[in-house]
Every structure is written in structure tokens, then in C-alpha cells.
Structure 1
Amino acid sequence: MALVIGSTAQAQPEEPGAAARAALAQLQQATESLDAADGARDRVRALTATIQAFESGLAAMREGVRRATSREAQLTRHMQAREAEIAGLVGALLTVETAPPPVMLLHPDGPVGSARAAMILGDLTPVLQARADGVRADLTEIRTLRALQESSVATLEQGLSDVQQARAELSMAIANRTDLPRRFTEDPVRTAILVSSSESLAAFADGLSEMSDTPIPPDDSDVSDLKGRIDLPVQGVVLRRAGEADAAGIAREGLILATRPRAIVTTPVAATIRYRGPLLDLGNVVILEPQADTLFVLSGMGEVFGEAGQVIPAGTAVGLMGGEAPEIGAFLSLSGDGTGTDRSETLYMEVRESGRPVDPETWFRTDKDG
């Protein structure tokens, strides 16, 4: 059998630990941002940005550590499968290194045989040495990856704790906020009547003007030039597009996004909050009006922020997804690797223009080709 023990590290152009180290820097920056948020002029904006940084850093860190774990397991299996060959390689190297020079130069066929043996040995030694270097590189990489995983666990635990703290502080900061302009003041009685009498989202959207006891002033905002280029309101992936049927054969007119538990949801553009609260079977709903006759409907959140009538700037938090924040073991589990099981929450997003639903992808960038 041929002796084949190269360093498999060369098979992957990118070092698996690089992503984890880069994510570690992200989390450290997010932690610094959390510390600085206390003194920020706009604390809500600072905390929102901090939570988004934590979410990005934690996701990158999780992926980096999972890749490092997979890589370590791959290298370990490779080394175990080559134990006999490695033992033979070590034995050959030890023989070459410990044999006395006079013995190495003597050969039964005389000087010619000795010369040939020396030539063969001279050719073999670099090959053995190269393969030994490959084994050494694999062993070094295993040790490096293992140390990276061990050091990353504490960072991840702290990051998970810090993002929970930031979410709690954000809820309190939003509750205490009084600096947002208002287009109208909601009438809770009228709103309750509209909610109870509406049998569909369309009917509720049509009656939004009835939520105030005074006429709602017209909105002169215009974001139509952003069509097709607006970021999604949450870090997630498209689970189902508009018109695509689910397993039960039900097709909806909006997008369904898969998100991680407790992910922050923000308004992608400046908008007026037209409604906030539970609605029909949609769970907690926030309806945003970015311009006249256009509504962004976001539903399925565990917690919603703001008040109807407020005009909020782009990037303002409007809610948090439901679910329980994962513990460190579940966060790093490889059992669901690549299956999307870590994105257990769903946000439904519908866009309505002039009272009719339109494909949200005419407004939002979903990276169809990505």
C-alpha cells in the first residue's frame, strides 16, 4: 500500500478557524457598544444597533465554531484511519535518524551498491520528511482548533447573556421614549371595535383611518425610489415567497421569513406606525405606512414596540421575535447543522398598495440569486 499522509489542510483554501476569530472581534465590538449605549444621545438607536451587532456576531461565531468542530473531527478521523501508515512513517524516520553513518554507507555490493543506496536514501528522506511535516501540520491544526473551541465557549456565553441584557434595556428605553413625532393619536375604543369587527387583514387595513377620532393628516413621504432595494426587517431567510403554497396547500400573499428566536425586527425605512398589537390569527402585528397608500404588514412577533401614530426613523426597532433564547449547548449543537432548525420562528410580511396586496419582492431585496 502506498504511503499517503499529506496535510488535508491544503484541501480547504480558507482556514476554518478564521471565521471564528473574526466573529470574536465582532462580539467584542458589540460588547463595547453595549457599554457605550448608556451614554448615547439616542439610546434606543444605540441599543438597536448593538443588538443587531450581537446577532450578526453570534451567528458568525456559531458558524465558525461549528466549522472548526467539524474540521477537527475530519482531521481526527483522517489521523485515526492512517495510524498504521503514520507508525510506519515514524519508524522509517527513526531508523534513518538513528542509524550510524558508517553502517549506512556500507553495502554488500561494494562501493557501487553503497552509492546507489545513498542515492535512494537521499531521494526517500525528503519524501518522508514532507509527509512527516504534513502529519505535524494536521496535529498542530487539531490542537489549534481545539483551543479555539474551548476559548470560544466563554465568549459565546457572555455574548448570549449580553444580547439578552441589551434586549431588556431596549424594551425599557422604548417604553420611556417621548421624543417621536406623531401624525395622529389612537382612539383605543375605535381601535378595539375595528379589531373585533374585522374578519380579514384586508378589511382591517381598509378601516385603519377609523382608529382616530380626528382625521389623519396625509402622508407626503415618498420612498418609491427605493423599490427593490430595501433590506428585510429582520435577519432571516426566505422560507416561502408570495403565492407559494405550504404543506397544507395554503398560499399567502406575503413573504414568510425564518428567523432565530428573539431576533430584533426593525422598520427598514422611515414610516408611521398605523397599528401595533394582536390581530386575527396573525399574532402580534405592526403595520407601517412608509408613504401614502402603502402599508408594510409585519406579523408573528413575540413582542412589539411603539405606539400607533408615531413617526419612526429607519432602523427603529418595532419588535422582537418569539421563542426562547437558546442555551450554549443547543446554540452550538451540530445535530441541526445546515438544516435551518436554529431558525425556528417565522415573520410574515405583506405589502399593500392602494388597498391591494403586492409581491413584497417588488420592494424588498431578498437576494434571489444568492
Structure 2
Amino acid sequence: MTGAALALLALALGADPRARLEELRAHKAAEESAARALAAQEGSLLSALDAAEQGWLAAAAAAAEAEAERAAAELRLARARAEEAAAQTRLAGLQEELGPRLRARARQGQLGELRLLASAPSLADLVKRRYLWAEVTRHDLALLGEAQRALEARERARRGREEEAARVASLARRSAARRDEAAARREEHRTLLGAVRSARTLHERAAGEAAGQEVKLAEFVAALPPLGAGAPLHTGFPQLRGRLPRPAAGPVEAGFGRVVDPRWGTVTVQNGVDIRAAPGAEVRAVAPGRVAHAGWFKGYGNLVIVDHGEGYHTLVAHLASMSTAMGETVEAGTLLGTVGDTGSMKGPYLYFEIRERGRPVDPAAWLRP
């Protein structure tokens, strides 16, 4: 679509053609970027999706970091402004105190002290006047010194405030650029994901690749070494059959085994269950164990695997965030992360598996009714 055509379409679709035009341009750029990503990853749709998602997640993290730096600079700027105001208030107070005294000295002129001393009626009064004059002079000089220091402090505070203001402006521009980049990356990933969902051939290719990733995941779990030194884990997991809590609240949307896609009729075999939990919902360990893996796995996004001993593992995938690390000991109910859509082609949900000596088993037989 040409720029002129985009402009005409924007005028036809909305009251604010400029904003609509920018939106259309961003979507067009995302489509072009998604097409390039597909072309660059000829052999793997999942790799293209994975690269796009990793790109926007990295951009979003950079945007959050830039925004945190900007917020910290705003706090420093507020402190700098307060310091400048305090310095100005102090300087104004000293100037108000010094003003009348300096004006009085100016009226007296250079011979003021001599006239004061010469008018003394006695020697004792002369000594007294000399002492008092010296004290007044000392006090005035101290005030002048303090005023000079207050002026210097005010100038330092002003320069600090100007530097912080410039830093805030620079960081604000950087934060805005990072947000724009993250939004563009997110749109690219959404467009690519939408293409995979809406085209049967792409959907079938992605489903086939997902099956391949299931095999790789099985090999990965089977190859996980026992964690820690000493005696192997014995958590009594086999005795928990039929009594495990769900890792997150929500209905099971797709069960274990053969699953038929309602739109395309394609058949896939699931090694776990899909729990339609709310985005951001807490995901918790179903039983005691040790974390055998906590990281990214292609096709599964953020994946946490808990080793429960005696050959049993549980897996939770597509997490938005992870709250644990490899090697950590967990109890039943320990927070593992939150529900998200990383690596997902079906939106936010929780994927849950139970494996017995590497072999997937139906979680329905293990979870509490």
C-alpha cells in the first residue's frame, strides 16, 4: 500500500487522520518485518516466533530499565530543586539581615569608627566603645562570610539542578525511544503470530514443529541429572496421586492426549494439560522438590521444571515471570512464577505436565478433583 493510499484510508476511517495514519504505518511496518522474519527462518516457524518474541521482551526490558533510570533522575532533580530553594532561602535571610547593617556603615563612611571613639567622654568609655565596635565588625564580617558561602551553595545547587534537568530530559527521550522500539517489536510478534493462527498451512507447520519440540523437551527432561550431593530426593511424590493441588487456579481447557483443533481440525497429542488461568496469576509448586530448570525453552517460553525425586518431575510453561532458580529447594505451594503467554501460540495460559521417569502421565489422575 502506498503512502497516498494510506493517507486516504486514514481520512476515511477516523476523526483524527494523523493518528490513524501513524497506526496504519506502524501495522504495515510490522507486517513487512514479520514477512522478513518468516523469510529469514525458512525452515522453522517456531524459530521465527521465538526470535520475534525474544526481541520484543528484550526491548521491553530495556524500556523498563530506561524508565527506571528516568524516574530515579526525576527524584534527584526534585532533591536538587529543594536544595536550591533552601540555599536561596538561606541567602535571602542573610541578605535581609546584612542590608541595614551595610547601609549604616555606608552612611558612617570610613571615619565612622574614629568619630565614635573621639566622642568618648572618658578613657573607660573609649575602651568600651572600642571593644563593642570590634565585636560589631567581627559579627558583620562573619555574616558577610556566611552570605558568601550561601551564595556559593546556591550557585552549586543551581548548577546541580540544571545538570539533573538536562539528564532527565535526555533519559525521557531515551525512555520514549525504548518504548517505541518495544511497541514495534511487540506488534511484529503479534502480526507474525496472527499470520500463523490465520493461515492453515502455517498453522499445520507450526503444529508439526511443536510436536518436534515436545520430543526435544522429553529428551531434555530425561537427561536432567540428579540435583545436589548426598542421598537422592524422597518427597513421597508417588503417594500424592489424586491429591495434588493445581499449580494455578483455572479450568482445564485442553486435556492430556489427543486434541483436535476446533478451527482447522488438525490433531495434536498433548503430554500435559492447558489450564486457562488469568494472566499474572500465581503459579505454585504442587509438591516438595528441587528446581531442575528455570529458563527459556523454545516452544514453551519461560519453563520451570521441578524434580520431586524417585523419577518424578512436574513442568509449568509459558510463564510471564519466574520466581525461582535452578537448584533451589521448594515446598508445596512455593511460588514458581506467574501465568503468561511466553512461547505461546494460544494466548496466556498455563501448560502443566507430570513425568514419571521421563514418560508423560495424565495429570488428571494426579490432581485433586
Q: Which has the higher helix share?
A: 2
TM-score by length of 2: 0.38
Greater Rg over alpha carbons, structure: 2
TM-score by length of 1: 0.38
